């Protein structure tokens, strides 16, 4: 390695570690939230005979954070699960961002441009939803 340039194998190792860590973190958070929910509410009876739609408290990041501070333990536990899902969604976005940095360090301007467009598309998609 010379200067700020990462060897391709080093960059691949960093990206691989990021993907594995992100999936493990997201899975761990989801399992913890799901376990908390089942411990507190796993024996409750569910009535499948009628359906009453409600407003979901998990439709945005701000609502999930608000749900974490809820008095209702079921809402709080499901908010933890939702954070695990957010972490899982962010994992490939971080991978693309690392690819942009890697291509920039390699001075591969074509791939920097292409990967930046992909990153921008992913970010706009997540932020506008």
Question: pLDDT digit string (tens) for 55-93?
Answer: 777 777 888 888 888 888 888 899 999 999 999 999 999
Q: Rounded to two decimals, what is the model's pTM?
A: 0.76
Q: Is 77 part of any domain?
A: yes
Task: Identify the domain containing residue 94 by its residue range.
Answer: 14-40+59-128
Q: Is 48 part of any domain?
A: no
Q: Is 5 part of any domain?
A: no
Q: Is 50 part of any domain?
A: no
Alpha carbon distance 39, 45 (integer Å): 14
Burial pattern 20-30, b for ≥16 Cβ within 10 A else e, equals eebeeebeebb
Q: Is 92 part of any domain?
A: yes
Instruction: Please state the domain count of the chain.
Output: 1
pLDDT tens for each residue of 6-50:
556 788 888 899 999 999 999 999 999 999 999 988 788 877 888
Collect all residues with Cβ–Cβ distance below 8 Å to 4 and sequence separation of at least 6. Answer: 105
Q: Is 121 part of any domain?
A: yes
Which strand (E) or helix (H) includes residue 105?
helix 73-105
Alpha carbon distance 20, 26 (integer Å): 10
Q: Is 111 part of any domain?
A: yes
Q: Is 52 part of any domain?
A: no
């Amino acid at each position: 390695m010379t200067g700020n340039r990462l060897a391709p194998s080093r960059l691949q190792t960093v990206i691989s570690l990021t993907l594995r860590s992100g999936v493990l973190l997201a899975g761990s958070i989801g399992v913890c939230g799901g376990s908390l929910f089942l411990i507190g509410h796993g024996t409750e009876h569910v009535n499948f005979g009628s359906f009453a739609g409600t407003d979901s408290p998990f439709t945005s990041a701000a609502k999930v954070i608000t749900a974490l501070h809820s008095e209702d333990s079921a809402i709080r536990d499901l908010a933890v699960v939702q954070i695990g899902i957010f972490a899982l969604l962010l994992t490939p976005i971080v991978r693309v961002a690392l690819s942009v940095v890697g291509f920039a360090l390699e001075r591969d301007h074509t791939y920097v441009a292409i990967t930046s467009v992909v990153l921008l598309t992913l970010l706009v998609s997540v932020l506008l939803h």
